[in-house]
Amino acid sequence: MAAYSECDVALMRAAIECAKKCASVDSAYNVGAVIADAEGEVLSTGYSRQLPGNTHAEQCALEALGALEERGMLASAGAALYTTMEPCSKRLSGNAPCVQRILAAGIQRVFVGTREPPNFVQCTGVAELEANGVRVVHIDAVEDECRQLNRHLAK
């Protein structure tokens, strides 16, 4: 049995479409995120630099939902986060890392398209989420598509 379903792949493809809205820059990744309830209903979306202040996709999706104020709602809805790249564990900008935001929001399942390359920082997002009881699932069926979103940073 696969660790993810066709619905999960569809939600990750929606995150990929969000990432395509990013304006590419040399100093950041293009990432898309979707937050969905247990039935696969999309609650919010986000993409890198969508909001002012060097914002990340997961941050934008959480802010769109008002997730920090809605922790109880997210947990009871069985909300999951779908992100095209591993959530950040460290930010050079000084902003709160997405891992901290996800944990604060009470999200218990995170689906990732690809791991974060070491271009900017050494990311430990998946390990930190798992260490805090969050189930992390890699959707390998879309990994190439997720990597292509950041071909502008290929070295």
CA distance 133 to 102: 12
38 DSSP 8-state letter = T
Q: Which one from 39, 41, 58, 116 is the annotated catalytic residue?
A: 58
Residue 114 and residue 86 in contact, taking contact as beta carbons nearer than 8 Å: yes
Do β-strands 32-36 and 80-83 pair in parallel, antiparallel, or remain unpaired?
antiparallel
Region of 11 on the Ramachandran plot (φ > 0 left; ψ -120 to 50 alpha; else beta): alpha
25 DSSP 8-state letter = B
Render pLDDT for 6-45 as a digit per residue (tens, 0 to 9): 999 999 999 999 999 998 998 889 999 999 999 999 999 9
What CATH number is given for 6-153 in this structure?
3.40.140.10
Q: Is 58 helix (H, G, I), strand (E, B) or coil?
A: helix
CA distance 100 to 14: 23
| Burial of 30 per CB tally in 10 Å (0-12, 13-18, 19+) | buried
Domain locations along the chain: 6-153
User: What count of Cα atoms within 13 Å lies in the side-chain half-sphere of residue 35?
Assistant: 29
Distance of CA 130 to the CA centre of its chain: 15
Give me the chain's average pLDDT, please: 89
Render pLDDT for 82-95 as a digit per residue (tens, 0 to 9): 999 999 998 877 78
Q: Is residue 145 annotated as part of the catalytic site, yes or no?
A: no
Render pLDDT for 93-150 as a digit per residue (tens, 0 to 9): 778 999 999 998 889 999 999 988 877 778 888 999 999 999 999 999 999 999 999 9
pLDDT at 76: 61
